[in-house]
Amino acid sequence: VKKPYHHGELRQALIDAARALVREKGSDGFSLSDACRKAGVSTAAPYRHFADKHEILDEVVAQGFADLTLGMQAAATVLPAGASARILGMGHAYLSFAIAEPALFRMMFGQKPDAEPDHLVVVRGKDCFGFVVQEVMSYCAANHVEGDAMLIALQLWTLVHGATSLTIDGDYAKISDQIEVGQILSDASDRLLFSLARRGEQGDQAKGKDHVE
Partner DNA sequence: TGTACATCAGTGAACGCGCGTTCACTGATGTAC
Distance in angstroms (rounded) separating the CA atoms of residues 34 and 40: 10
Q: Are 77 and 87 in contact (CB under 8 A)?
A: no
3-state secondary structure 125-183: HHHHHHHHHHHHHHHHHHCCCCCCHHHHHHHHHHHHHHHHHHHHCCHHHHHCCCCCHHH
Question: Can you tell me which of 7, 73, 120, 162 binds a copy of itself, judged by CB under 8 A?
Answer: 162
Which positions from 100 through 159 interact with a copy of itself, judged by CB under 8 A?
Answer: 102, 106, 109-113, 117, 122, 125-126, 129, 151, 154-155, 157-159
Nearest partner of 166 among 154, 157, 175, judged by Cα: 175
Biggest distance spanned by C-alpha atoms of the chain = 69
Q: Are 92 and 164 in contact (CB under 8 A)?
A: no
Report the partner that residue 210 touches, choosing among DNA, a copy of itself, none (CB closer than 5 to 8 A by kind): none
Question: Can you tell me which of 22, 32, 136, 168 binds DNA, judged by CB under 7 A?
Answer: 32
| 113 vs 200, beta carbon nearer a copy of itself | 113
113 binds DNA (CB under 7 A): no
Q: Please, what is the minimum distance in Å from the beta carbon of residue 184 to DNA? A: 37
Which positions from 33 through 52 interact with DNA, judged by CB under 7 A?
Answer: 33-34, 40-45, 47-49, 52
Q: Are 84 and 128 in contact (CB under 8 A)?
A: no
171 binds a copy of itself (CB under 8 A): yes
Q: Are 58 and 121 in contact (CB under 8 A)?
A: yes
Query: Where does this chain bind DNA (CB under 7 A)?
Result: 4-8, 10, 30-34, 40-45, 47-49, 52-53
Give the residues lining the site for a copy of itself (CB under 8 A). 26, 28, 102, 106, 109-113, 117, 122, 125-126, 129, 151, 154-155, 157-163, 165-166, 168-172, 174-175, 179, 183-184, 187-188, 191-192, 194-196
